[in-house]
Chains A and B, each alone.
Chain A
Amino acid sequence: MTTWIDTSCILVVFLALSILATYRITGMIHIFVVQSFVLSFVPFFLHADALTGRDVMLVLATLVLKAIVAPYILFWAIRHMSMRSEVKPFIGFGTSIICGTFLIAGAFWVASSLKLPGKLISDLVIPCSLSTVLLGFMIIVTRTKAITQVLGYLVMENGIFLFALSLFDAMPTLIEMGILLDIFVAVFIMAIVVNHINEEFEHAPASLRRTKMGETL
């Protein structure tokens, strides 16, 4: 099963990097769906020999919240948006990918000095999760639109989630569900704010639109 876990980890990082390199917002959301989909099956691979009801519940909850509900909310938030692609990121797409690869290298370097106590399922879980967190960070700081920043936040959460799976036993189910629920509500509220921002600026006369604010849209 280690092969499957390794493959999933690498896929998660690769998909995060693809989001960083994608131009269209709908494309980014689609890639995020695939990433969440891959991620949600990791508990299956981790506990393939002795599946419990808890694993199944976690897989289902992740799948529903991250791969279905969250993207749906994001699509809802951008339904009226006239601009469907990222305009003028602070760093160009080519440079973003190069920076991204440096971040991945850095994450692997840092992770090499972090030793987990207890048995380790796969060597790739920690470096890959750190890489994904860093790539998510990079999406947040280099992209200028609110909706892409939400996506960056979600990618970052996916990285943290991958990390959480490696210490499955330390957290009670209740807390895990709480964390998932919080992230879901976060996306929900962020989407509402994005929607309000859009409405406010679609209706505001052009003279009131400040360039500073326009850039964050």
Chain B
Amino acid sequence: MLSVLILIPFVCGLVVFLPMERRLRVRILCAVSLVHAMIVASFWKVNPPSEINGFLMLDAIGLIVLSIVSFLFLSVSVYMVGYFHHEQRRTRTFVACLLLLLSTMTLVSVSRHMGLLWVAIEATTLFSAPLISFHRNPESLEATWKYLLVCSVGIALALLGTFFLAIAAHDVHTLLLPVLLSGAKMLSVNWLKLSVIFLLVGYGCKMGLAPMHSWKPEAYGQAPGMIAALMSGALTQCSFLALIRVSQICAKTGLSEFYASILIVTGALSLVAPAIFILGEGNIKRAFAYSSVEHMGILVLGLGLGPVGIFGAFFHMINNAVAKVAAFLAAGSLAQKYGSSRATEVKGVIHLYPVTGVLLIAGFLAGTGMFPFATFHSELMILNAAVLSGHYLLALVYLGGILVMFIGVLRIVLEMALGKPTQPVLPAKENFLMNAAIAVAMIISLGLGLWMPDILTKVLNDAVALVRI
């Protein structure tokens, strides 16, 4: 079943290269996402068997990432049906890359071999790069180039880290995760330490952790809203999954302390750095990009802060993805209507597009972790973990970072939502499908904030148990 799940989008990705009507391609994407989501939903009931000699297997952590990926693709594809109603650009490469991206992201979430994981993550970089330059203007090409180069070099370092891991696992003779974990005593600790540093820098680059985040504001600022949503919600989680895998290995080899200390430093940096840059920002998509850097910091911080933090991090993965979808889709919807996402050129949205305006504000509140949205709870859990483990200074930095980010983004969102309306490029008419996709994400974020389903608690606890010693 797992290989089928990878193959369906892959084959369809090749099929859409054939000549066909442009909107048909978007419909194919929609259908594939729906089928993908239905299969993934069935995995919550029955766990699929492992495949290809144990290379592909779905555990609780993989299930969380896979569900995020699947949900994000479904909302983005529904949104795209509305988006391409007004967009006259060709869809061939765009939809093909999206489908191939879905296929490779699925591979990331189910792969149990550290080498295969690298291959899949590198492939996600390659298929996401052409999506950024959708508008094909100099700025978007520059952003694509920056993303491609920074991430490729970062991922190359992760490859080196994977090879170091292979040396550390010389006596185990394989990089299959279950074998690595059961033979953890045989790993060479010095090589493993070197490998952990390279893997963290490499995958951290792809995840957009400070100080390797320079590509993020450019790429998210230039990419269409739905691509920014996919990248900030799903693509970054794929790299985070790699960091969780490293965490699993470290827990078994007694390197948890060592790994946790690096994670905490990187996390704290990722909270401080975007807070400095956000204050001078005037572009809503770039502002959300800085917010995304901050949330990646929160995730790695949670991973480094023991069981409570790890639970918070897993929960925050889901919440952040859902909130980012709403925020970026709303911003993307305005960018299409006004031809810009700068706060100086987009004003008084709430008067012309009341629904989109309200959704933008709601997306902003969810994205910055306000009550009653679910992000609030997961951020609180991680703060709790920091205080419980005695990192008081860290807790202060954490609160400060979140507060500055809130003010920084609030300034831009209020300027855009309220005020004297500026004239949009497109006629002032709401698009139902686009708003529906955003609203569903918003409802989920609100729902998870008020009520936690038992099955989700169980899966999150299973996932935490996999990372703990």
Which residues of A does B touch, CB under 8 Å?
A: 114, 116-118, 133, 137, 140, 146, 149, 153, 156-157, 160, 163-164, 167, 169-172, 175, 178-179, 181-182, 185-186, 189-190, 192-193, 196-197, 200-201, 204, 208, 210, 213, 216
Contact, CB under 8 Å: B138 / A200: yes
Complex contact A213–B142 (CB within 8 A): yes
Q: How far is the CB of B180 from chain A (nearest CB, A)?
A: 11
Can you name the residue of chain A whose Cβ is closest to the Cβ of B141?
Answer: A197
B153 touches A140 (CB 8 A): yes
Minimal Cβ-Cβ distance residue in B for A175: B115
A–B pairs, 22, beta carbons within 8 Å: A116-B167, A118-B170, A133-B160, A160-B159, A160-B163, A167-B163, A167-B170, A170-B167, A170-B175, A171-B166, A172-B115, A175-B113, A175-B119, A178-B115, A178-B119, A179-B119, A182-B122, A189-B130, A189-B148, A193-B145, A200-B136, A201-B138
In the bound assembly, the distance between CA atoms of A169 and B188 in angstroms comes to: 17
Q: In the complex, what residues of B have CB within 8 A of residue A201's CB?
A: 138
CB neighbours of B125 from chain A (8 A)? 186
Chain A residues lying within 8 Å of B123, measured Cβ to Cβ, are: 182, 185
Whether, in the assembled complex, B466 has its beta carbon less than 8 Å from a beta carbon of chain A, the answer is no
Would you call B188 and A196 a contact (CB within 8 A)?
A: no
| B contact residues around A170 at 8 Å (CB) | 166-167, 169-170, 173-175
Which B residues are CB-close (under 8 A) to A164? 163
Residues in B lying within 8 Å of A, measured CB to CB: 113, 115-116, 118-119, 122-123, 125-126, 129-130, 133, 136-138, 141-142, 144-145, 148-149, 152-153, 156, 159-160, 163, 166-167, 169-171, 173-175, 188, 191, 194
A193 and B122 in contact, given A140-B153, A157-B156, A200-B141 (Cβ under 8 angstroms)? no
**When chains A and B are docked, how far (Å) is the Cα of A116 from the Cα of B138?**
47
Cβ–Cβ contact B126 & A193, under 8 A: no
Alpha-carbon separation in the docked complex, A109 to B131 (Å): 42
Pairs A-B, 9 closest by C-beta atoms? A178-B119, A175-B115, A170-B166, A117-B170, A182-B122, A167-B166, A185-B126, A197-B141, A189-B126
Contacts of A137 in B (CB 8 A): 153
Query: Given A117-B171, A163-B163, are A140 and B148 neighbors across the interface (CB < 8 Å)?
Result: no
| In contact, A197 and B145 (Cβ under 8 angstroms) | yes
Q: Which residues from chain B contact A210 at a C-beta distance below 8 Å?
A: 138
Summarize B's interface: helix, strand, loop or mixed.
Answer: helix
Closest chain B residue to A116 by CB distance?
B167
Please indicate the chain B residues that have their CB under 8 angstroms from the CB of A208 in the complex: 138
Complex CA–CA separation, A200 to B129 (angstroms): 17
CB distance from B149 to the nearest CB of A (A): 6
CA distance A170 to B113 in the complex (A): 12
A162 CB → nearest B CB, Å:
11
Q: How many A-B residue pairs have CB under 8 A?
A: 103
Q: A171-B175, A201-B138, A208-B138 are in contact. Are A156 and B170 (CB under 8 A)?
A: no
- In the bound complex, CA of A105 to CA of B145 (Å): 32
Which B residues touch A160, using CB under 8 A?
156, 159-160, 163
Q: How far is the CA of A204 from the CA of B174 in the complex (A)?
A: 52
What residues of chain B lie closer than 8 Å to A193, measured between beta carbons?
129, 133, 141, 144-145, 148
Instruction: Kindly list chain B residues whose C-beta atoms are within 8 Å of the C-beta of A175.
Output: 113, 115-116, 119
Residue of A nearest to B146 (CB): A216
Asked whether, in the complex, the Cβ of B115 is within 8 Å of the Cβ of A167, the reply is no
The one of A178, A190, A200 in contact with B116, judged by C-beta atoms closer than 8 angstroms, is A178
Chain A hits for B115, CB < 8 A: 171-172, 175, 178-179
A167 CB contacts on chain B under 8 angstroms: 163, 166-167, 170
The answer to whether B149 and A149 have CB atoms under 8 Å apart is yes
Q: Given contacts A193-B129, A200-B136, A200-B137, are A117 and B167 in contact (CB under 8 A)?
A: yes
Q: Out of B126, B138, B159, B163, which one reaches A204, CB within 8 Å? A: B138
* Most chain A C-beta atoms within 10 Å of own C-beta, residue among B113, B129, B167: B167
Q: Which residues of A contact B174 (CB under 8 A)?
A: 170
| Chain A residues within 8 Å of B116, by CB | 175, 178
Set of chain B residues within 8 Å of A118, measured between Cβ atoms: 170
Bound form: Cα–Cα A35–B194 in Å: 27
Report A-chain residues with C-beta under 8 Å of the C-beta of B170: 116-118, 167, 170
Given A171-B115, A213-B142, A216-B142: A189 touches B129 (CB 8 Å cut-off): yes
Bound complex: CA A142 to CA B41 (Å):
49
Complex Cα–Cα for A33 and B194 (A): 31
**Least Cβ–Cβ distance between B219 and chain A, in angstroms:** 13
CA distance A3 to B416 in the complex (A): 68
CA distance A167 to B152 in the complex (A): 22
Q: Hey, which chain A residues are within 8 Å of B153, CB to CB?
A: 137, 140, 153, 156
Given known contacts A116-B167, A193-B144, what 6 new A-B pairs fall within 8 Å (CB)?
A: A133-B160, A153-B153, A167-B167, A170-B170, A170-B174, A213-B138
Q: Which of A149, A181, A189, A204 has the most CB of B within 10 A?
A: A189
| Complexed CA–CA distance, A171 and B165 (Å) | 11
Assembly CA distance A171 to B133 (angstroms)? 35
Q: How far is A182 from B137 in the complex, measured between Cα atoms in Å?
A: 27
Q: Which residue of B lies closest to A180 (CB)?
A: B119
In the complex, the answer to whether B160 meets A163 with C-beta atoms within 8 Å is yes
Q: A172 to chain B: which residues have CB within 8 Å?
A: 113, 115
Nearest chain A CB to B238's CB is how many angstroms away? 15
- Assess whether B173 is in contact with A153, with CB atoms less than 8 Å apart: no
- When C-beta atoms are compared, the residue in chain B nearest to A133 turns out to be B160
Q: Once the chains are docked, how many angstroms separate the CA of A157 from the CA of B118? A: 14
CB distance from B382 to the nearest CB of A (A): 34
Q: What is the CB-to-nearest-CB distance from B207 to chain A, in angstroms, rounded to a whole number?
A: 18
Residues in B with CB closer than 8 Å to A216 are 142, 145
Contacts A171-B115, A179-B119, A182-B123 known; A117 to B129 CB distance under 8 Å? no
